[in-house]
Structure 1
Amino acid sequence: MKRLFQTSTESVWRHRDLRIAAPARALSILGDEIALVALMLHVHDLGAGARGVMLLLISAAVPTVLLAPLAGSLADRVDSRLLLVTASLLQVVVCVALAFTAPLWGVYLLVMALQAGQAVVNPTWQALVPRIVGEAELGQAMGATQALSTLAAVAGAPLGGLLSGLGGQRLPLLVDAGTFLALVAAALLVRTRRAGRHDAALRTADRPRALDGLRVIRADRLLWPIFVALFAYIVVGEATNVVEVFLIRDHLHGTSVQYGLVGAVTTAGIVVGSLLAGRIRRTPRRVVVVVVGAAVQSLALLLAGLVPSVLALAVVYSTLGVANGALNTSTGTLVFTRVPDAVRGRVGAALNGGSRACSIVALALGGLAGSELGAAPSFVLFGSLALVVVGWLALRVLPLRDVAPPEPAESTAPAERAPVGAANGS
């Protein structure tokens, strides 16, 4: 019997450019989490209350949504090195300005400027990774980078609180500026480049249009239902984030230490799930993992509203974490191995923008459900709705798990035939 998780005799870390890019990206995520905690504390100290925090979170999410078409077009047309260096340097300037800005309106505007840079940088890196490692090892690379990013994000929260205590708003934001400088250095050191005048393959493609990313996904019979289900799933799944603290502290009477323990086991699960899913080599198996991962995570959300203790919740959440890591890694690998190279930036931007838009809706929905139903019933409700979404997804995609991706349009065919990983210095 063939194994679902296959091993490779060679490590994905043998690629020089991945060894540079992945830690730099994780360091930047660490800096962003540090900055977010510092800014939330700053907004609290100014007396803005829950409304001020909500506006801060919205300011951080809106640019990714609104700029998705432009960001994807830039990622597919402009030299990746030039784009990454320019955007990261601008983010350094914005972080320094944030460190010395006190008024709330200034904070909100600068946060939007910072995230506008992220809206461009993220799809550029996403489209560059397949060039670095090649499509055969993309799953392993995505699993490894997601594991690193998850660990960085979790470490950012306590570090943000510690640095804020030591230096107020200024110190953590200057640290974040330093992480963007590290990204500048990484972009200059990475030899693999994509788009721009030197990239003959992408230069032959047509000029990007605003909704190209969605058009490409819509044309793929397998990816389109995954996209639709993913966005619906984010709305109902992330809504539980709003009431999670109330479930643990108020409903289950957990301590702050126990709250941290639940977060720690979830993180460990995500890392394990990401690394395991990264070892899957075939599309049909990835499709199965997407459906099973979503089903397990949905069931875990439902059970979270029924458990009698924090210890039982920790067991449920550790399973949820494994499922979440496997789901995200498999979904990302499916998307970027099935779309033509010429449009990967636009597809990545569409995925990022749609996900952030759904997250905004989830915040509002979770707040409403928490105030009207309470924490535990909200988990049962959202877990049940998530299972409905997964049931629809299973019916749509499992019969199509062997379907080939659509033929690329004539304008993108040269990019599709371009050698992957060329000039990557591996």
Structure 2
Amino acid sequence: MKETLHIRDLRIALLARAVSQAGDAMTLTALSLLVATSGRPLDLTALLVAFAVPPVLLSGYAGRLVDHADSRAVLVGSGVVQVLGSVGLLGPTTLPWQAVCILLVQAGQSVGAPAWGALLPHIVGEDRVGRAAGLQQSLASLAWMTGPALGGLIYGLVGFRGVVLVDTVTFVLVIVAAMVIRTRRRPDGRTDETADAHRAGMGRVTARRSHARASFSRDSLARASVPRDSLVRRLIRPGGVRREGGIGRGGATGLVGAARDGAEPAARSGLRLVAADRVVLALIVALGVFVVALEGANVVESFLVVDVLHASPAGYGLVGLAMGVGIALGSLAAARVGTTRRRLQVVSGSAALMGLTIGLAGLAPRFWVVPGLFLLAGVGNGLINTLNYTILIGRAPESARGRVLATVMGLSRGCSVLALVLGGLGGQLLGPRATFVVGGALAVAVAPLVLRAVRHAPEAPRRPSAASVGQENVATSGAQPTIG
């Protein structure tokens, strides 16, 4: 872990992303407080929907942009869009104007998040992506814990626009970070050579990572969209990857074959890539159920803790703190899980753990039981988030990672909107306790679905030989890969 932090570009990216996420949490808190003073709770629902809509609608186009443009240009451009939206929030506080500004901010996020995620393997090397993802998720958890507290404090001191101004500054910092990071992801899958001397942060690059980067370039050539009758395709195609969605020879996945088809519309290509891989498809379906179940329970969390269990506001804050600490611990622990099969098994177990703890929280006889349960739930959440990202990066071909990450982000946000609706209905019809129990049961039901995907994963990762270049995806066969 310490060796990973020696990488200069990673330190810059992690810090900038964490500061920006804290700013986002501050602004969301400030918007909630502003709406609370208006006495119109439906306004907050409308704003939350505005947060979720752009990633859902723009996922295909955002992913295509990430995969076909220089990473620095994409990150700077998306950051500028977010700055413009954030500056707009300094204007009128009417609902339509705020919704438009939020849509603009989230449109930038729809592009920026998958761009950071696709750049991460180039910054750290394929074999360190798991550790880097764990660090990023831990910092994100800390950001989302401290952000609301800072947002409430600044709102009380200087008002809503003071909070938004701080958030705007964090977007500017992200733009600066994107400009000073030396590593760049090129449209052809290459890493900018100016970063090579700094990749390890110790003045040299190991032979193993140099081989991985060289393999990236060759592998991206193997996946390039070239005329079907060309000499390159005839040389690449013998013994190539199966396209029916299972594991290809040498551990390549259905995602590799889908990325070669290359003629689908931009808005659908990410979905086609995800559907081509049985492991990824199982993960996405499980993730959707998981998000609906647990975020639906989150809608009634305050009612359970304060109204049913009679906890104080400080007690409610303690529950959130326990969840955040658990997420940070689980994210760091995920770095120790080494193979795709093992990651799937841990994701399955973590889903069961989260489901059981959330369900038991709904049955808790006293408040003092709940923080401990939420700590365990947070550990499971951190493991799931980090390992899901690592598996996606590992199974997606380098040239299609932007599309895959953008699609998953869009689907997840769509499920979040559904969770808001179902959680509200559940709280109204069933009450907080029953809503938690039902959500926990749905989360437990996800575990077998993920476990079934283990049989489609390779037994263990292995490095490709020179003879196998063009037949398998290095990220899948030899690597152990929110920055997104």
TM-score (norm 2): 0.79
Match of 2:23 among 12, 17, 31: 31
Residue identity matched to 1:18: L
Aligned to 2:368: 311
Match of 2:38 among 46, 50, 57: 46
Q: What is the deviation of 1:380?
A: 1.0
Report if aligned partners of 1:87, 1:121 keep a CA contact under 8 Å in 2. Answer: yes
Q: What is the deviation of 1:399?
A: 3.1
Matches within 5 A, 1:364-375: 364-375=421-432
Report if aligned partners of 1:342, 1:416 keep a CA contact under 8 Å in 2. Answer: no
RMSD after superposition: 2.4
Aligned to 2:234: none
Q: What is the deviation of 1:385?
A: 2.0
SS at match of 1:67: helix
Aligned to 1:162: 153
CA 1:87 to 1:398, structure 2 compared with 1: closer, same or farther past 3 Å? closer
Aligned to 1:62: 53
TM-score (norm 1): 0.90
Aligned to 1:398: 454
Quote the sequence identity (%).
41
Residue identity matched to 1:69: G
Higher relative contact order (CA 8 A, sep 6+): 1
Match of 1:205 among 221, 224, 231: 224
Q: What is the deviation of 1:306?
A: 1.0
Residue identity matched to 2:157: L
Report if aligned partners of 2:66, 2:403 keep a CA contact under 8 Å in 1. Answer: yes
Residue identity matched to 1:113: L
Q: What is the deviation of 1:215?
A: 2.1
Tell me, which stretches of 5 or more residues in structure 1 are unaligned? 1-7, 422-426
Matches within 5 A, 1:335-414: 335-394=392-451, 396-402=452-458
CA 1:393 to 1:56, structure 2 compared with 1: closer, same or farther past 3 Å? same
Tell me, which stretches of 5 or more residues in structure 2 are unaligned? 192-216, 226-261, 480-484
Equivalent residues, number: 405
Match of 2:72 among 69, 81, 99: 81
Deviations 1:154-209 (A, max 9, x none): 11101111111122121111101100110011001111111348949568834673
SS at match of 1:180: helix
Aligned to 1:134: 125
Q: Matched residues in 1 for 2:291 and 2:352: separation?
A: 13
Q: Matched residues in 2 for 1:101 and 1:138: separation?
A: 43
SS at match of 1:281: coil
Match of 2:279 among 222, 237, 248: 222
Q: What is the deviation of 1:404?
A: 8.1
Q: Matched residues in 1 for 2:329 and 2:412: separation?
A: 23
Deviations 1:381-420 (A, max 9, x none): 11112222323332x2233343689x9xxxx9599569x9
Q: Matched residues in 2 for 1:90 and 1:59: separation?
A: 16
Q: Highest CA radius of gyration, 1 or 2?
A: 2
Report if aligned partners of 2:189, 2:398 keep a CA contact under 8 Å in 1. Answer: no
Match of 2:346 among 275, 282, 289: 289
Q: What is the deviation of 1:216?
A: 2.3
Residue identity matched to 2:427: G
Q: What is the deviation of 1:232?
A: 1.4
Aligned to 1:120: 111
